[in-house]
Structure formats: C-alpha cells, structure tokens
Chain A
Amino acid sequence: MSGPEVVVQARGVSKVFAKGGVTALQDIDLDVARGEFVSLIGPSGCGKSTLLRVIGDLVEPTAGEILVNGKPAHRARLDRDYGIVFQAAVLYDWRTVAKNIALPLELLGWSRARRAERVAEMLELVELEGFERHYPWQLSGGMQQRVSIARALSFSPALLLMDEPFGALDEMTRERLNDELLRIWAETGSTVIFVTHSISEAVYLSTRVVVMSARPGRITTVIPIDLAQPRTFATREDPRFFELVTEVREALHAGGADV
C-alpha cells in the first residue's frame, strides 16, 4: 500500500467497433497510481465511456493492453477488482437498499453476518442509515446514486470506475454528492476513474484531468490539478480553480470540441 504504486496501465489501447468501423479509441496510453482520482473529459463521442469500459474489461480493445494491479484487465475482473457506478443507479427494484448493497458480497460468497456488518458500514459511509429496508423506487435520484456508490465500494475493489454518475442529477444534488464522493474517497483511499462532461466537476474532484478529443478518440492533454486537499466550498471560489477550469476548457477547444 506504500508509494505511488500503479493501479492501471493502459498501453497503446485502440478500439474499432466492428459495426460501422468507427474508431472509438486510438493509441491510448494512461497510468493511474493508487489513490488517484482521475477524470476523463471530452466531447460526446470521444470514447471516454468506451475507455472506462475497456479498463473494466466490459469492452474488449482491438489493440493494446490494459494492466490492473499488474494483471490483465480480464483477470482483474475475474478477481473482482472493479466497482462500477453508471449514470443510472441500476439498482434492482426487487431488492431493498441493504440487499442492493449486499449484491456483490453475495456473489463473493460472504456469510450473512459478514454481509450485514459491511452493509451497515456502507450505509453509514454514504449517510443512508435508516433506509436499509426501503426499496430503490422510494428514494430520490441522489439517494439512489449513493446506494449505487455504496454497492460499488462494499467489497473494497482496487478500482472504482464511475461513468457520469451524477450526470442525471440536478446541480444542487450534484455538488452535494461531489463533496460526499470526495469524503468517501479520502476515507477509503480508493482509486477512482471518473467520466464526466462537466469541466468544473472534473477540476473540483480530480487529482488529474485527462482531456480527450473525438474521431478518433485520443488523449490530447493531461492536466494535473494542484488544488489543496481536502476540497471545500472555498475551493470553488479559489482563483486557481478558475485558472484550471480555463485550462481544461482551452484544452478541449484545442482538441476540436464545441464546448
């Protein structure tokens, strides 16, 4: 756990979709160190979600290699190294909040007692104590997404992959969940790869922002975010914050995005 150990290594990753021959990703190289929070940002169609799925072994690359903790991505998936949060919470309607969080734990064969203990911890982490017996459709969108995060983190995966998790939420909820995510990230020491199309969200959350361009999907710039941790309300009003937002926006424009 010590030192800047590399969790994700992407080497020359390309993805051409057989249907239509679209080049979604071209020659992607990316390293992510343990404990980093890396955002992927770019115009729609730049392949940022595809890159996330290739890292998570949900989409197979046409060329190149992904190593997670030094293992091929496929091995990492079989080893349950990934926690994934999608734009939709993707909770199972027939399961209570507690049972949704416990789903990966069931698949891992944890005992009932151990599951209950972990679920209680996760509910505390995402501040949903008292909602364990609710059903997903009884919760607001923001609460559903917190359950989804709790589920993704319940088995302490090596890597948390988030695909525009707050994209469908209103601005207020989104900012609150941004802070909550940063607190969880700090508490758990997770490594996060986060896809977003919001520049300010990417800058606020990340240790590094990876800017991508479309057709073909490439990494154009990687911008380290040197804002002090922990990020707070003051961060959003820090002149440095605006500088970095501008830097990311210019990088997007340079890549040909109409932002």
Chain B
Amino acid sequence: MLSLVHRTIASLAGRLATLALVLAGLWALWEGYRALWERAGWTKPFPVDSTTMPHLHDIVRRLFEPIREGEPLLARYMLDAALFTAQEAATGFAIGATIGFLLGAAIARFDVLQRGVMPYIVASQTIPILAVAPIVVVGLGNVSIGGWVPKDWMRVAVIAAYLTFFPVTVNTVRGLRSADPAAVELMESYAASEWAVFWKLRVPAAMPFLFSAFKVAATASVVGAVIGELPSSIQSGLGGWIINFNQYYVLEPENLWAVNLVAALLGISFFLVVVGVERLVVRRPPEQLT
C-alpha cells in the first residue's frame, strides 16, 4: 500500500514536471513570437502589441496586484470565483457522470435502446451549448419544485452535467461490453446472477473506459459551468468575471487573460483529480496505463 502511494505521488510529480516543461515551452513560443513580430514590424495576421498579446509575466503579475487601489489582490477574487465555478462544475460532473453511467448501463443491457435512444443522445450534443445555456439557466429561472426554487448555481450545474454525461454514456456502453467473452463464460459456469456479472465483471472491466470518459468530462464540466454563467446574472463565478473583463479589454487586457488562465488551471486541476483517483482505483497491467 505504501509503495502504491509512493508510485502515485511519483507519477503525479512526473506529470507536474511534464506540465511545467510544456508551460515553459508555451511561454517561449508566446514571447518569441511576440518579440519577432515586434522587431520585424510584421502586422500579419494581426499587429502584435500589449493589447493583442500581453506579456505572460504581466498576466501573472496582474493576478498578484490589488484589483483596485486599496483593495484585495485580483488572485483573491479569482480564487473565490474559481471555487464558486468549481462547485457548479463538480456538482454537474457528479450528476452528469451518474446519469451518463446509468444511461450507458441501460443501453449496454438492452440492445433496443442502442437504436432507440442513442441517436437522440448524439443529437443532444450537436446543439450548441451556448444555445442551451440560456434556456436552462434563464428560462428555468422561475421553476419551483414543490415550493423549493433551485439556486442559480444549481441551474448552471445542469449545463455542466449536460456536457459531462455524453462521453460517460458512450464509454460506459463500450466498457461494459468490453468484458472478455471467456470471462463471461466463466461467470456462467458458476451460475452467477446477472447482477453479479455486472458488478464483479462488467463494471471492473469498464473502469479504464470510464476513467477515459471522466478525464474528458472533468474538463468539459468546467467549460460547461463557465458557459452556464454567461447568460445569467451570476457574478460570483469565473464566467461573470470573463463578461466583466471582456468589456474593459482595451483598457486592461491582462485581466481577461488572467481570468482565462485561472479557468484553465481549474480545468487542469479537475483533470488531475481524475487521474489521481484512477491511479488509486484502477488496477491493471502497467503497459495499459496511459
């Protein structure tokens, strides 16, 4: 168990190191591009200056400056906003993953659903999320369930769930059907109940597929939460700040870049949480680890 924890930590450290390298590479590309275009005076495809491409260190520095004279740091506001959005995204992820798994399990079990339901599930994902978000978040603003009115952030979580469930459904179907036929035959030889086959064989066999889906869904849930905040009057999340900073972009471009950076970091942390849980939960040959 201890060595497992060690290996998990080591692998996470390895991933973080890779991440740092990639970030350094991106920084070099960004600043190199900017320096080259400025020096050469090129204006195609767009003129390069501190409005179109603020220095990355200016963006990061902005985070650690007071938002206005005598007020807390921008990072402080960003942290609160990120936590608010994280709550929406995590709730949406949990709802979406649950619904996605149940749908996938039903489809894997009953072939008729594959033809009857799957096309609509696919169609649901072809509708632009920007068109769905106002309907759910604003349109359902006055819905009450037995006198209980869902809070704004809960409606945003529905958008996050909408983006989450699809990859989980598709991978659940594939994963549950991926069990080795011989392993199924073995279960039959023990006269195992369908329920036992499901929990002791099909679900464990589906785990690698499920976690692939969770990785996609984790980042999608953050995007869904941010987009869900846009059409509503919700100001507490990253989406609210994006709208706000968007309007003052010409004056303070670093602000918008800074909030985007925070949104990206939130997505990455969701992804890393899934990776960490996968390392602890899924036991499989090292050559199959991705």
Using CB atoms and an 8 Å cutoff, list the residues of chain A in contact with chain B.
Answer: 56, 58, 77-80, 82-84, 86, 88, 90, 92-95, 103-104, 106-107, 135, 137, 161
Contacts and interface: CB of A to CB of B under 8 A. Distances in A.
B129 interface: no
Contact of B190 (A94, A104, A137, A161): A104
Contacts of A78: 191
Contact of B207 (A83, A86, A88, A94): A94
Given A92-B204, A94-B284, A77 B191 contact: yes
Given A58-B185, A90-B180, A94-B204, A107 B283 contact: no
7 smallest beta-carbon distances between A and B, as pairs:
A137-B285, A84-B189, A94-B204, A94-B283, A90-B182, A78-B191, A104-B190
Nearest to A91: B183
A147 to B, nearest CB: 13
Interface in B265-289: 282-286
Contacts of A94: 204, 207, 282-284
B188 interface: yes
B117 interface: no
A90 B192 contact: no
A167 to B, nearest CB: 14
Contacts of A84: 185-186, 189
Interface residues of B, number: 20
Nearest to A137: B285
Given A86-B185, A95-B204, 19 more contacts: A56-B189, A58-B188, A77-B191, A78-B191, A80-B190, A86-B182, A88-B182, A90-B183, A90-B186, A92-B183, A92-B200, A93-B284, A95-B283, A103-B190, A103-B200, A135-B283, A135-B285, A137-B285, A137-B286
B19 interface: no
Given A58-B185, A92-B183, A94-B204, A107 B284 contact: no
B201 interface: yes
Nearest to B193: A107
B107 to A, nearest CB: 23
B189 A107 contact: no
A106 B192 CA distance: 10
Provide the main secondary structure of the chain B interface: helix
Contacts of A103: 190, 200
Contacts of A77: 188-189, 191
Contacts of B186: 84, 86, 90
A82 to B, nearest CB: 5
A107 B185 CA distance: 15
B26 interface: no
Contacts of B188: 58, 77
Nearest to B185: A58
Contacts of B180: 90
A1 B24 CA distance: 75
Contacts of B189: 56, 58, 77, 82-84, 161
A86 B284 CA distance: 21
A161 B185 CA distance: 13
B204 A107 contact: no
B196 interface: yes
B283 A93 contact: yes
B192 A107 contact: yes
A80 B191 contact: yes
B235 to A, nearest CB: 46
A92 B283 CA distance: 10
29 contacts: A58-B185, A58-B189, A77-B189, A77-B191, A78-B191, A79-B191, A82-B189, A82-B190, A83-B189, A84-B186, A84-B189, A86-B185, A90-B180, A90-B183, A90-B186, A92-B183, A93-B285, A94-B204, A94-B284, A95-B283, A103-B190, A103-B200, A104-B190, A107-B190, A107-B191, A107-B192, A137-B284, A137-B285, A137-B286
A79 B185 CA distance: 16
Candidate in B185, B188, B189, B204 with the most chain A CB atoms within 10 angstroms: B189
Interface in B178-219: 180, 182-183, 185-186, 188-192, 196, 200-201, 204, 207
